[in-house]
Amino acid sequence: MIDVSVVVPCHGRLAALRRAAESLLDARDYFHGGRVELLFVDDASPTPVEATLAGLLDDPAVRTLRLPENRGPSGARNAGIHAARGEIVLFTDDDVLVDRAWIRELAVYLRDAPHRVAGVGGRVYALGKDVFSRYYEYHRILDPFRLDDGTILYVVTCNCAYRRAVLEELGGFDEAIRRPGGEDPGLSFKARAAGYELHLHEEAVVWHDFRPGLRDFARTFFRYGRGCRHQVGRHWKG
């Protein structure tokens, strides 16, 4: 048996959030290896997320945590880590649908892995069929980044799990990054610099609702590139 916390930062995107939450509840019900809590961190969303999760919050395993001011995804995840009760913390986003076996696959893999393995990530497929979504999926943009020797350089927070003790040891995500992009590699760089390994588990699957359109496509890669460069400068040890 193992205690698991799932942390989801939320800001806007309320319709997508409801859909994501329902997929997480299905995955929770499919997991029989321990206790699971679903923690939705409301990052000062313009409309509080509680109304969107109406009915779901009747489940004692579902909790919301509303931040008094916007801290960005790094700060929201750090607040979730602080509030989490599980020894393994899974991360995903409010624009993602998880496979019903997702919690089981990540939690059991990390439970059984050697303690030198700090975290594990899985496969990210596109929910949409537009050309931009197909590009993200084909090039595995949000999958764990694997070097030529098979080493996993970083995992991505739309589909990953870490040991909570390691998250606390590393100080969580870098809150200097206030917009999505770069905080995922930054945490992974810190883990690797501390002597830990990261793994890929192909059977842990989610579907990401990528935004179509050239402008959003360009913004996404600009933010990822800028954020990753910032994290290399702060946390990369080579």
CA dist., res. 46 & res. 49, Å (int): 9
Look up residue 233 and give its two tokens.
Answer: 């400068």
Dihedral pair phi/psi, residue 87, rounded to 5°: -80, -20
Confidence at 223, pLDDT banded by 50, 70, 90: low
Domains in the chain, start-ordered, CATH in brackets? 4-235 (3.90.550.10)
CA dist., res. 137 & res. 67, Å (int): 33
Look up residue 64 and give its two tokens.
Answer: 């919301």
Cβ–Cβ under 8 Å, residues 8 and 38: yes
Over the stretch 137-163, which tens digit does the pLDDT of each residue have?
A: 877 888 998 888 999 999 999 999 999
Look up residue 96 and give its two tokens.
Answer: 């993602």
pLDDT at 182 over 70: no
112-150 per-residue burial string, b: 16 or more CB within 10 A, e: under 16: ebeeebbbbbbbbbbbbeeebbeebbeeebbbbbeeeee
CA dist., res. 201 & res. 109, Å (int): 8
CA torsion sign for 208, 170, 222, 200 is negative
Over the stretch 42-93, which tens digit does the pLDDT of each residue have?
A: 999 999 999 999 999 999 999 999 999 999 999 999 999 999 999 999 999 9
Q: What percent of the chain has pLDDT over 70?
A: 87
What local confidence, expressed as pLDDT, does residue 218 receive? 47
* Average pLDDT score over residue span 157-183: 88
pTM of the model: 0.90
CA dist., res. 174 & res. 156, Å (int): 14
pLDDT at 226 over 90: no
